[in-house]
Structure 1
Amino acid sequence: MRVTAIACVKNEGPFVLEWIAFNRLIGVTDFLIYSNDCSDGTDALLDALGAYGVVHLPNPAQGRNYQMEALKAAARHPLVAGADWVWVADVDEFLNIHVPGHDIAALIAACGDPQAISVPFQFFANFGVMRFEDAPVIAQFPRSHNPDLWCADTAIEVKTLVRKDFPLHYYGAHRPFARKRAPAPTWTDGSGRAVPGKFLTAANPRRLRRFPAAGARRFATLNHYALRSLDSYLVKNDRGDVNRDGRAFDDSYWRERNDPAWEDLSIRRYLPALTEALDEMKTHVGALHDACVAAHRARAAELAQDPHYAALRKHLQGLPTFPPGELELARELGLAP
């Protein structure tokens, strides 16, 4: 089974090897990765990963919606057109598969081999980690929000595995969109249940990329490490959004994702195999990885001397850990005092 992952990156060099190694463990065979104006060595590292199924291309975007333009181009690429399944994800997102086997094939079987599987996000908090460490992200950040609540909503964003016979109109970042008048595809959540009808048909503009999370992640969760360390978050803030122009990683973004109420260590099941895979990869591209790490640390040190970023660091450290509206919703649902 050929599974192609599509991603867009900018200055993600320190995190690329872990993401590639992890996805190979769960059954991704090919990677189509578009980069935007990297200055930390990410592009050179990606160019050296051909033996691991990676094809690296410059982002073809002519406008400001970098990811959507890349996805439009990706749909015509042989790695995508010839794949059995396509997985669109970012380098801070890890598909944590709970069913025995813990890989994509096991998830597909558990869900009944549908044409699409949408798995809800679970946002993992910074949890007081200040300094960047060159170690697996999935081992460093063990706490998240209540998986069924996020801010003031019970609906949570998803990412989607798409089978080759899905009646595709176009790929979205979170879900595919089906051709009009095509037969409705078979489409499940991360528990093998049919997705809500309005989500399937994209009938509700407010729920195009999310649906209620309760009960939707029995077979898999999408662990999203959007914050990582405070050092890395400030570098991310300085870099800007790789997927679209004009999006700020401000204190609202931080507060919405820095809720450590829930401990979830389940993804650590992959650590022994991941560590072994990373050690093997570094025998071939370790110098390029180390160069990315050095560039990341150097930029973090520069930002620490910048008065604006020093003030932002202090401000973020002082913010409450309950996201806006979540405590009120939890009380309403009887989940908090």
Structure 2
Amino acid sequence: MADQDPRYISVTPMKNEGPFVLEWVAHNRAIGIDQMVVMTNDCTDGTDVLLQRLDEKGVLTHIDNNSRRKTSPQKRAYNTFLKMEVARPQDWVVVIDADEHINIKTGDHTLRALTDAIPDAKTISMTWRLFGNAGVVRYEDRFLSDQFRQAAPEKIYRPPQAWGFKTMFQREIWDGLGVHRPKKPAVETIEECHWYNGSGQLMPERYYEKSWRSARDSVGYDFVQVNHYALKSCESYLVKKMRGRAHHLGESLGLEYWNMMNQNAETNTSIDVVLDRKRGFYYEMLSDPEVARLHHASCDLHRQQIGQLRDLPEMQDLMQQMTAGFTASQQA
């Protein structure tokens, strides 16, 4: 890579995602992210220790984002990233969460192929495809992309979250980070943002000011989508409920969120195009004995938490509600 070639950098606040870290890291490497900056806070499941080991191995950059102040971990992470000055003006930056896998459908299925497909772009919004539970009750230490292959259709107008997006941008264009889109434009007009959707179409002018989701005149999936695995198995959802939502301090999860995000209308396996590359990176990381030990310890703790939670009456009620329409074999 020439010195002036853009790099692709991801920024991720993270808490208690231990069992799912290695697949997510492997996927990000498979799509060509050059540097992952992961900032952890308040971890109790070994996520931070595993990421620190990956940092020591040169796989990613791990930052301790703990604080005694009652401030948003996300805002702390974003501010820390900007102060680090990791990204050069020409570099691409994307805020991506641990349950989001960018799924590129053009060229060699890397981020570079995506920006090559939209050569005028300096900002690209990538719309979610919500992947539902697919009737999976039990937690298993397997790739999410192998287990959860049912998703919302491309044309879905409700819930609003179905068309939420994540935005990748060149650092010189924006001075602030946000969960779904950058903030504080360093330019005066949307034309100067060179802002495109996932089909290579220009975004409407209103996005310069605000909005976190696609609409009928701005949605596009031709080149890229973001597979959003918000629920996973019923058992893992119990652990997620205990943890709370990543970007909503103090907000409880329950059946309403489950029903909203549990979209299973279509089979979508398009992400499999990078499966071989992902497996290669995954097993390369697991070949380190300490990474393997930490990964398996986190998975074991996840199973222990599930066992404890399933004994609670509140969680038993939620489990019964989530699995009400499942077959006997699914519930076994």
TM-score, normalised via structure 1 length: 0.88
2:321 maps to which of 315, 319, 326: 315
Q: Which residue pairs with 2:330 in the alignment?
A: none
Pairing of 1:278-297 with structure 2 (within 5 A) = 278-284=282-288, 285-297=291-303
Q: Which residue pairs with 2:3 in the alignment?
A: none
Q: Which residue pairs with 1:256 in the alignment?
A: 260
CA distance in 2, matches of 1:6, 1:260: 29
1:269 maps to which of 253, 257, 273: 273
Quick check: 227-236 or 60-69, which moved more?
60-69
The amino acid of 2:272's aligned partner reads R
Please list every run of 5 or more consecutive structure 1 residues that lacks an aligned counterpart in the other structure. Answer: 203-207, 321-337
Matched, 1:190 2:198: yes
The amino acid of 1:220's aligned partner reads V
Q: Which residue pairs with 2:15 in the alignment?
A: 10
Query: C-alpha deviations, 1:128-168, integer Å up to 9, x for none?
Result: 100111111111111111122142559711001111221x2
RMSD over aligned CA atoms reads 2.0
8 Å contact kept, 2:244–2:252:
yes
Query: C-alpha deviations, 1:204-233, integer Å up to 9, x for none?
Result: xxxx10122575110001000000011111
8 Å contact kept, 1:8–1:33:
yes
The amino acid of 1:236's aligned partner reads K
Pairwise CA distance, 1:276: 2.0
1:217 maps to which of 221, 230, 250: 221
Pairing of 1:53-72 with structure 2 (within 5 A) = 53-59=59-65, 62-72=69-79
Quick check: 140-149 or 210-219, which moved more?
210-219
Partner-residue secondary structure (3-state), 2:214 = strand
8 Å contact kept, 1:144–1:264:
yes
State the percentage of identical aligned residues: 32
Query: C-alpha deviations, 1:67-126, integer Å up to 9, x for none?
Result: 123212211213345771111010110110000210000000111241110000000000
Matched, 1:157 2:160: no
Quick check: 143-152 or 190-199, which moved more?
143-152
Query: C-alpha deviations, 1:271-291, integer Å up to 9, x for none?
Result: 222122211110111111111
Pairwise CA distance, 1:177: 1.8
8 Å contact kept, 1:199–1:211:
no
Matched, 1:201 2:209: yes
- Off by >4 Å, runs of 4+ in structure 1: 152-155
1:128 maps to which of 130, 135, 138: 135
8 Å contact kept, 1:31–1:54:
yes
Partner-residue secondary structure (3-state), 2:39 = strand
The amino acid of 1:24's aligned partner reads R
Number of aligned residues:
314
CA distance in 1, matches of 2:43, 2:90: 28
The amino acid of 1:211's aligned partner reads S
CA distance in 1, matches of 2:84, 2:113: 27
Q: Which residue pairs with 2:84 in the alignment?
A: 77
The amino acid of 1:133's aligned partner reads E
Partner-residue secondary structure (3-state), 1:210 = coil
CA distance in 2, matches of 1:74, 1:154: 26
TM-score, normalised via structure 2 length: 0.89
Pairing of 1:85-164 with structure 2 (within 5 A) = 85-152=92-159, 156-164=163-171
Pairwise CA distance, 1:182: 2.4
Task: Say if 1:319 and 1:89 are closer, same or farther in 2 by CA, change over 3 A.
Answer: farther
CA distance in 2, matches of 1:225, 1:316: 16
Quick check: 3-12 or 220-229, which moved more?
3-12
Quick check: 59-68 or 241-250, which moved more?
59-68
8 Å contact kept, 2:159–2:260:
no
Partner-residue secondary structure (3-state), 2:93 = strand
8 Å contact kept, 1:30–1:79:
no
8 Å contact kept, 2:10–2:33:
yes
CA distance in 2, matches of 1:231, 1:40: 16
Task: Say if 1:277 and 1:70 are closer, same or farther in 2 by CA, change over 3 A.
Answer: same
Pairwise CA distance, 1:265: 0.8
